[in-house]
Structure 1
Amino acid sequence: MTFAATQRSRSEDRRISPVFWVLLAILGTSGWAVYAGYGNASFGVFLFVVAGWMVSLCLHEYAHARTALHGGDLTVGAKGYLTLNPLKYANILMSFVLPIVFVILGGIGLPGGSVWIERHRINGRLKHSLISAAGPLVNLVCAALLLVPIGAGWLDDPSVHAVWRGQELVVSPLALALGFLGMLQLSAALLNLLPVPGLDGYGVIEPWLSYRARRAVEPFAPYGMLAVFALLWQPEVNRFFFDTVYGLMDLFGVDEAYALFGRELFTFWKG
């Protein structure tokens, strides 16, 4: 293979996928429609949140892959992980289908993720920890980008008001959509950072554990996420978790009502 061919191959490995551009187009178009009051606001909020959630999942996985690339795993490019194409991930069900289903059914940001990192190519415990932490950090950045405009008052005094159960609210439907999507980002980050086998939080601390501890925990990794969600079904745990999420929203100056009303608009099939 010539040098030019090698460079072209690397460029193709990192070229943004048309699938991701389509998701961005849906996100931008639905966001404009909701803000301008064009079409059905509730369905527009649904499209905006689903598209935004999928974009954030792509960015989450990209962050893992990009950090792994700089850490020493040069195979992530050939696997298509740097193209932001969700169809390239190892497990579409875990990465996208289930997270979207959980958003629709329960309003919880399910931590997905299936980029296959060849860890043996990476030297240094800190590099391994950073690879695992990169995804949840992206969710935190997304949450800040979504919530800051609300807390800063950039969407105050809107020309188009949200309508809930026949009552007009003095708030933009886009602000409610941003609040709900921001809440999902925070919940995903918190869940993913739990030091539970199978989640990114455990991946952060795993390199620093002894070999014996890692071997003892390894059989439980496939069930870690299931255990977390079983706990979240417990009313006391669920209340504590969401109180924490809403407390983080409050740090941005955003009341939990934005997320709650945003979720009501999101579930357009109920209205």
Structure 2
Amino acid sequence: MPDLASSIHYLSLMALPFLLAVTLHEAGHAFAAYYLGDKSQVAEGRLSLNPLNHIDPFGTVVIPIVAVLANLPFLIGYAKPVMIDPRPFQKLRRDLVLVAIAGPLGNVVVALFCAYMVRFALMFGAGPESWIVNTMVFGIYINCLFMVFNLLPIPPLDGAGIVEQFLPYEAAQKYRSIAPFGFMILMGVIILAPSVIMVPSSMMFGLIAYLVGVPV
């Protein structure tokens, strides 16, 4: 277990990128659902980039702190899930896929933003060990990680929501029934096979850094 000072330093670097990651992820779902006809996001206050509208006290605060103190391979957590009303959707399966994929795409947007912040900070004289550079580098990585993590085909993650739309009705019902065990399955993956998440996350990190021109 890392010492307390190291944990606090790590949290100070990760807090802002993590908050951006979970906020833009859920906002991505909300904006996609709204665009496709689900106006309930307005009444619920989720059609917003304000982190306060998306924070879940347990998932956004408690779990990330526990993950750091427990020295897990990477930071985990979540914001309040956006509840979707699919009744206004014109093409149900297509639109559910679009809403599901919008969350991970929100993380790609934040990763690109963080990459440009690193590039501009270095251009204007910030050192590679400065807080802004380190925080934004973490921001690239954690958003790549969130994208990969949420695309895992394990209910109730977004990846499972996408896969489900391509299954016959009965198969989709059985697939969805795994959801109550999803957390245990995810913890098993995190503890026993973290490379399933970390390898593609690192590849995505490298791709974004290359495209933006970040020397990391």
**TM-score, reference length from structure 2:** 0.77
Q: Which moved more, 1:54-63 or 1:188-197?
A: 54-63
What is the aligned partner in structure 2 of residue 60 from structure 1? Answer: 25
Q: CA offsets per residue over residues 58-98 of structure 1, 9 Å max, x none?
A: 2221111111112221211111111345555595433x235
Are the equivalent residues in 1 in contact too, given 2:63–2:76 (CA < 8 A)?
yes
Are the equivalent residues in 1 in contact too, given 2:27–2:106 (CA < 8 A)?
no
Q: Which moved more, 1:133-142 or 1:106-115?
A: 106-115
Q: Output the CA distance in 1 between the equivalents of 2:57 and 2:136.
A: 25
Structure 1 SS opposite 2:43: coil
What is the aligned partner in structure 2 of residue 101 from structure 1? Answer: 65
Counterpart pick for 2:110 among 125, 129, 142: 142
- Sort the Cα spacing of 1:141 and 1:109 in 2 relative to 1 into closer, same or farther, 3 A: farther
Structure 1 SS opposite 2:44: coil
Q: Which moved more, 1:241-250 or 1:102-111?
A: 102-111
After superposition, residues 150-165 of structure 1 pair within 5 angstroms as 150=118, 152=119, 155=122, 158=125, 160=127, 162=129
Structure 2, gaps ≥5 residues long = 1-6
Q: CA offsets per residue over residues 98-153 of structure 1, 9 Å max, x none?
A: 55336634333445541111223323111111111111101011112212454x58
**Amino acid in the other structure paired with 2:81:** S
CA shift, 1:217, in A, is 1.7
**Amino acid in the other structure paired with 1:155:** L
- Sort the Cα spacing of 1:157 and 1:192 in 2 relative to 1 into closer, same or farther, 3 A: same
What is the aligned partner in structure 1 of residue 198 from structure 2? Answer: 242
Q: Output the CA distance in 1 between the equivalents of 2:196 and 2:12.
A: 29
Q: CA offsets per residue over residues 210-269 of structure 1, 9 Å max, x none?
A: 1101211222113223312211201xx2235323322222222467xx6xxxxxxxxxxx
What is the aligned partner in structure 1 of residue 90 from structure 2? Answer: 123
Are the equivalent residues in 2 in contact too, given 1:90–1:114 (CA < 8 A)?
no
Structure 1 SS opposite 2:83: coil
Q: Output the CA distance in 2 between the equivalents of 1:227 and 1:101.
A: 21
After superposition, residues 151-230 of structure 1 pair within 5 angstroms as 152=119, 155=122, 158=125, 160=127, 162=129, 172-230=130-188
Structure 1, gaps ≥5 residues long = 1-41, 163-171, 259-271
Q: Which moved more, 1:103-112 or 1:212-221?
A: 103-112
Give the paired residue count: 202
Are the equivalent residues in 2 in contact too, given 1:111–1:188 (CA < 8 A)?
no
- Sort the Cα spacing of 1:127 and 1:90 in 2 relative to 1 into closer, same or farther, 3 A: farther
The percentage of aligned residue pairs carrying the same residue is 25
- Sort the Cα spacing of 1:120 and 1:159 in 2 relative to 1 into closer, same or farther, 3 A: closer
**Amino acid in the other structure paired with 1:104:** V
Counterpart pick for 2:36 among 71, 83, 88: 71
Q: Rg: which structure is higher?
A: 1
Are the equivalent residues in 2 in contact too, given 1:65–1:76 (CA < 8 A)?
yes
Q: Output the CA distance in 2 between the equivalents of 1:141 and 1:248.
A: 13
Q: Does 1:133 align with 2:101?
A: yes
**Amino acid in the other structure paired with 2:98:** L
Structure 2 SS opposite 1:83: coil
Q: RMSD across aligned C-alpha pairs, in angstroms?
A: 3.0
